[in-house]
Amino acid sequence: GAVVSQHPSWVICKSGTSVKIECRSLDFQATTMFWYRQFPKQSLMLMATSNEGSKATYEQGVEKDKFLINHASLTLSTLTVTSAHPEDSSFYICSGSRVNNQPQHFGDGTRLSIL
Protein backbone atom coordinates (compact mmCIF):
# COMPACT_ATOMS: atom_id res chain seq x y z
CA GLY A 1 0.00 0.00 0.00
CA ALA A 2 0.89 3.66 -0.21
CA VAL A 3 3.45 4.93 2.25
CA VAL A 4 3.28 8.27 3.99
CA SER A 5 6.23 9.30 6.12
CA GLN A 6 5.93 11.89 8.87
CA HIS A 7 8.81 13.56 10.68
CA PRO A 8 9.58 14.05 13.47
CA SER A 9 7.69 11.34 15.32
CA TRP A 10 7.80 13.32 18.53
CA VAL A 11 9.07 16.68 19.68
CA ILE A 12 9.30 18.47 23.00
CA CYS A 13 9.99 22.16 23.04
CA LYS A 14 9.59 25.31 25.06
CA SER A 15 6.60 27.59 24.87
CA GLY A 16 7.01 30.23 22.17
CA THR A 17 8.97 27.99 19.83
CA SER A 18 7.83 27.32 16.28
CA VAL A 19 7.77 23.68 15.24
CA LYS A 20 7.75 22.29 11.71
CA ILE A 21 6.32 18.87 10.89
CA GLU A 22 6.97 17.22 7.53
CA CYS A 23 4.71 14.84 5.66
CA ARG A 24 6.06 12.99 2.65
CA SER A 25 4.42 10.58 0.27
CA LEU A 26 7.13 8.05 -0.50
CA ASP A 27 5.73 6.01 -3.35
CA PHE A 28 3.04 8.17 -4.89
CA GLN A 29 2.34 11.74 -5.82
CA ALA A 30 -0.14 13.40 -3.52
CA THR A 31 -1.90 16.35 -5.05
CA THR A 32 -3.84 16.68 -1.84
CA MET A 33 -2.68 16.13 1.72
CA PHE A 34 -4.64 16.51 4.91
CA TRP A 35 -3.59 17.55 8.41
CA TYR A 36 -5.39 16.21 11.45
CA ARG A 37 -5.15 16.77 15.16
CA GLN A 38 -6.06 14.08 17.67
CA PHE A 39 -6.58 14.50 21.39
CA PRO A 40 -6.30 11.50 23.73
CA LYS A 41 -9.15 9.02 23.39
CA GLN A 42 -10.76 11.04 20.64
CA SER A 43 -11.20 10.76 16.92
CA LEU A 44 -9.20 12.59 14.30
CA MET A 45 -10.13 16.21 13.76
CA LEU A 46 -9.39 17.64 10.33
CA MET A 47 -7.44 20.88 10.54
CA ALA A 48 -6.81 21.69 6.91
CA THR A 49 -6.65 20.41 3.37
CA SER A 50 -3.37 21.08 1.61
CA ASN A 51 -3.28 21.32 -2.17
CA GLU A 52 -0.01 21.29 -4.09
CA GLY A 53 0.86 24.71 -5.38
CA SER A 54 -2.02 26.55 -3.76
CA LYS A 55 -3.15 27.82 -0.40
CA ALA A 56 -4.46 25.39 2.16
CA THR A 57 -8.13 25.25 3.05
CA TYR A 58 -8.62 25.46 6.79
CA GLU A 59 -11.51 24.03 8.76
CA GLN A 60 -13.67 26.32 10.80
CA GLY A 61 -12.03 27.32 14.04
CA VAL A 62 -8.47 26.52 12.95
CA GLU A 63 -6.19 29.55 12.98
CA LYS A 64 -4.37 29.78 9.68
CA ASP A 65 -1.76 32.13 11.09
CA LYS A 66 -1.09 29.69 13.91
CA PHE A 67 -0.87 26.57 11.79
CA LEU A 68 1.02 27.38 8.61
CA ILE A 69 0.77 24.81 5.86
CA ASN A 70 2.96 24.61 2.80
CA HIS A 71 2.56 22.07 -0.01
CA ALA A 72 5.38 22.98 -2.36
CA SER A 73 5.69 19.66 -4.17
CA LEU A 74 3.64 16.58 -4.96
CA THR A 75 5.47 14.61 -2.29
CA LEU A 76 5.89 17.05 0.59
CA SER A 77 3.58 19.06 2.80
CA THR A 78 4.68 20.82 5.97
CA LEU A 79 2.77 22.04 9.00
CA THR A 80 4.39 24.73 11.13
CA VAL A 81 2.95 25.42 14.54
CA THR A 82 4.00 28.99 15.18
CA SER A 83 4.75 30.32 18.65
CA ALA A 84 3.54 27.08 20.17
CA HIS A 85 1.95 27.05 23.62
CA PRO A 86 1.04 24.18 25.94
CA GLU A 87 -2.51 24.06 24.58
CA ASP A 88 -1.05 23.19 21.17
CA SER A 89 0.29 19.95 22.61
CA SER A 90 -1.36 17.14 20.70
CA PHE A 91 -0.91 14.30 18.23
CA TYR A 92 -0.71 15.64 14.67
CA ILE A 93 -1.28 13.29 11.76
CA CYS A 94 -1.07 13.84 8.02
CA SER A 95 -2.54 11.84 5.20
CA GLY A 96 -2.12 11.75 1.47
CA SER A 97 -4.35 10.78 -1.40
CA ARG A 98 -3.25 9.68 -4.82
CA VAL A 99 -4.49 11.42 -7.91
CA ASN A 100 -6.73 8.63 -9.14
CA ASN A 101 -9.54 8.23 -6.61
CA GLN A 102 -7.62 6.21 -4.04
CA PRO A 103 -8.24 6.23 -0.29
CA GLN A 104 -6.18 8.33 2.08
CA HIS A 105 -3.13 6.81 3.71
CA PHE A 106 -1.84 8.19 6.97
CA GLY A 107 1.56 8.99 8.39
CA ASP A 108 2.55 7.67 11.81
CA GLY A 109 1.84 10.97 13.50
CA THR A 110 3.87 13.50 15.45
CA ARG A 111 3.52 13.80 19.20
CA LEU A 112 4.02 17.47 20.06
CA SER A 113 4.60 18.45 23.67
CA ILE A 114 5.01 22.11 24.56
CA LEU A 115 6.45 22.83 27.99
Give CA–CA dist 25/65, Å, rounded. 25
Give CA separation, 104 vs 40, 44, 83, 85, in Å.
Answer: 22, 13, 30, 30
103 cis-preceded (ω within 30 degrees of 0): no
Binding-site string for other proteins from residue 41 to residue 60, where x marks contact by CB under 8 A and - marks none: -xxx-x--x-----------
Binding-site string for other proteins from residue 80 to residue 109, where x marks contact by CB under 8 A and - marks none: -----------x-x-x-xxxxxxxxxxxxx
Work out how close the CB of 55 gets to other proteins at its nearest, in angstroms, rounded to a whole number: 16
- What single letter denotes the amino acid at residue 20? K
Judged by the rule CB under 8 A, the positions of this chain that interact with other proteins are 1, 4, 6, 31-32, 34, 42-44, 46, 49, 91, 93, 95, 97-109, 111
